[in-house]
Structure 1
Amino acid sequence: MTHDQDFEIFLATAPGLEPVLAEEVRLKGFKRPATVPGGVTTRGRWPEIWRANLWIRGATRILARIDAFHVTHLAHLDTRARRIPWADTLRPDTPFRVEATCTKSRIWHSGAAAERIATAIRETLGAPHDPDAEVTVMARIDHDLCTISIDTSGEPLHKRGFKEEVNAAPLRETLAALFLRQCGFDGTEPVVDPMCGSGTFIIEAAEIAARLNPGRARHFAFERLATFDAAAWQQMREPKVRRTPPARFHGSDRDAGAIAMSRANAERAGVSDITEFRQCAISEARPPEGPPGLLIVNPPYGTRMGEAKSLIPLYQALGRTLTTHFKGWRIGLVTADPKLAHATGLPFLPPGPPVPHGGLRVTLFRTAALA
């Protein structure tokens, strides 16, 4: 594949959030995004790959799909893998690794499939194979159709490069961005998180409002490919004029350590001037001065038997505080247990599907503006 060829780009996300990611991809100007299980497809060239990694907040990784063909046995896979013009994409001096998955196919051994592809690349291109390499060739064999992709992101995209400090079970930035979008947040209103932990929701909202690119401070695997143009990439990532948001973003937590973490993370992200963090209990949470906006919260939800029941008083207290003091505000609440959400007594809209997070399945519960 050459620099000028149009190809399919796959943006992965948590199952259940594909339509939310598709809307973000569409609004960022990418061609005809379509939802597929586990993500969104669009089409473009290598600059669109770079732009997607730099701009898109909700994707967990971005794959360049460079070939697809039917295979029925390993010798066939070996032959087809050797026909791929690997030098158009990979560099002979850069280590690579191969990951393969096989589903409902006559080739069923993923390890053997990966080994055949790795040998084909090594022998036709001369690049060294390294199981720990950053450049990853991904092969998916599904119903005998083998799709070959390059992982252009490297480290997962929730790793923005700012959050050095986290608390237990932190919400990933990519998930936070999609939940904010589901709640209708567009950067023009205040956001409050009364259980802010390490500050993920507040920092993500502040970055969206200031129009800061999520990938502005990190390295990507595509920088090690043959298609990479360092000068064009440098020009693309040059910071544009930062917008001064019309609102500020407020986090609170009863834990002093969480507040210190949030402040440090916001400072590294460059949004400390538009964020505020203070230590207080849920019952003391109050809206900031000015118009109402969005309150979004990811309370503890317990993972072991009996834990959820002990959390009901916390959710009841949260519901009382929001009902009493946050009239006019929309609420977003993330939890793994619908019973805990309903313990708040809040008038939730019908929820979307549960999505995987940290070994659990969590659901975003939303309200309209509280009366």
Structure 2
Amino acid sequence: MSDPFDIFLVATPGLEQPLAAEVSELGLTPEIQPGGITIRGGWADVWRANLMLRGATRVLARVGSFRAMHLAQLDKRARKFPWKDVLRADLPVKVETVTRASKIYHAGAATQRIERAIAEELGAPIAADAGIVVKVRIEDDLVTISLDTTGESLHKRGHKEAVAKAPMRETMAAMFLREMGFDGSQPVLDPMCGSGTFPIEAAEMAMGLAPGRSRSFAFENLASFDAARWQGLRDGVTLRKPLVRFFGSDRDAGAIRMSRANAERAGVAEVIDFACLSISDLTGPDGPAGIVIINPPYGARVGNKGPLFGLHAAMGDVLRSRFGGWRVGIVTSEAGLAKATGLPFLPPGPIVAHGGLKVRLWQTAPL
């Protein structure tokens, strides 16, 4: 298991491109595939991807593969697989199987064979609620064994307790900021900040904070885990002092309280200004122009869309008249609402899956 293996980084569909750019900045070579990125590496790369990547939702280690044409062959080869190199005998395991275009077509039967092989050859207990998940994919008679090294989705950074309605996931927020060219040197303002995701994510990026610094991961319970090397990776993260400030406002005082509490837990409260303001009272902050990014109400989140067109038109007027030189990004499922702002949008970004809706990032050049 010391040889390099494939590592699959699960992306939010539609945000594979900015994730690939982030992977390249970590010094890894990304291969874009639908729904994610494949890289080659070892266990240290698995740990680093979980710790450092803002856009990935999960990291799967593809630890081996073999051919199997029928269940008896699957049973035999699963028993010969080096489970002890990757799994611990003292911790429960769960197996999930999908099959496609293969002679073995019954995923449930395949799962039973692999569970039995792990239980009898390694001695690990099998449990439906196990924190260690073995993912098996059988496609064209090739059985690929992957381990979920993440556990809870990576958008759960570990410091957001308070969540507003229809929240923007941290992973998506980071990739939308990246698509707008954010590199930590520009101020970012969200005038409908909800629980503060955009300004908090921007501040963390500017400060060089590792997104996974406040949480644990499933790989810490694998046989391949090296606690000393992992601590060395965590300690090696270089922090920076940001040269700009970040801003969040919302007309809901409860949202502002949530945002401030979340920013405190994330360790970025000192560089973010939160204010209880309606859009009509919004003004451009002192200092250089930067990025306004908004996840306004839209689509299934609101029953009667009529008033939303007026809200978007008013928002566009405020931004055009008071934010000269700033670039604006709006995340919405409704092209009509984006156009109602009257802002000079560039062609919209790719369709992105968000909570059952299909949203896009609409952004402008500097106003």
Report the TM-score when normalising by structure 1. Answer: 0.96
Pair 229,306 (structure 1): closer, same or farther in 2 beyond 3 Å:
closer
The amino acid that maps onto 1:89 is V
Pair 172,305 (structure 1): closer, same or farther in 2 beyond 3 Å:
closer
State the match for 1:317 in structure 2.
314
Cα offset for 1:239? Answer: 6.0
Calculate the aligned-residue CA RMSD, in Å.
1.3
Q: How does 1:271-310 map to 2 (within 5 A)?
A: 271-303=268-300, 307-310=304-307
SS at match of 2:113: helix
Correspondence 1:133 to 2:136: no
CA distance in 2 between partners of 1:309 and 1:316 (Å) = 12
The amino acid that maps onto 1:283 is S
State the match for 1:100 in structure 2.
97
After superposing the two structures, state which structure 1 stretch, 187-196 or 333-342, moved more.
333-342
The amino acid that maps onto 1:111 is G
Contact 1:103 1:141 in 2 (8 A): yes
State the match for 1:334 in structure 2.
331
Contact 1:203 1:275 in 2 (8 A): yes
SS at match of 1:316: helix
After superposing the two structures, state which structure 1 stretch, 339-348 or 300-309, moved more.
300-309
Cα offset for 1:68? Answer: 2.0
Correspondence 1:222 to 2:214: no
After superposing the two structures, state which structure 1 stretch, 150-159 or 337-346, moved more.
337-346
Cα offset for 1:304? Answer: 6.9
CA distance in 2 between partners of 1:78 and 1:352 (Å) = 46
The amino acid that maps onto 1:152 is T
State the match for 2:108 in structure 1.
111
Cα offset for 1:363? Answer: 0.8
State the match for 1:6 in structure 2.
4
Report the TM-score when normalising by structure 2. Answer: 0.97
Contact 1:308 1:337 in 2 (8 A): no
State the match for 1:48 in structure 2.
45
CA distance in 2 between partners of 1:85 and 1:79 (Å) = 13
CA distance in 1 between partners of 2:236 and 2:270 (Å) = 18
Correspondence 1:233 to 2:191: no
State the match for 1:159 in structure 2.
156
* Corresponding residue to 1:199 among 196, 201, 204: 196
CA distance in 2 between partners of 1:322 and 1:140 (Å) = 49
**Count of residues paired in the alignment:** 367
State the match for 2:21 in structure 1.
23
Cα offset for 1:102? Answer: 1.8
1:45-93 CA-partner distances (Å, limit 9, x unpaired) = 1111111101000000001001123333222222221121000000101
Cα offset for 1:242? Answer: 2.3
SS at match of 2:161: coil
State the match for 2:185 in structure 1.
188
CA distance in 1 between partners of 2:187 and 2:136 (Å) = 44
Contact 1:9 1:49 in 2 (8 A): yes
The amino acid that maps onto 1:351 is P
Contact 2:104 2:110 in 1 (8 A): yes
The amino acid that maps onto 1:57 is R
SS at match of 2:343: coil
The amino acid that maps onto 1:9 is I
The amino acid that maps onto 1:230 is A
State the match for 2:244 in structure 1.
247
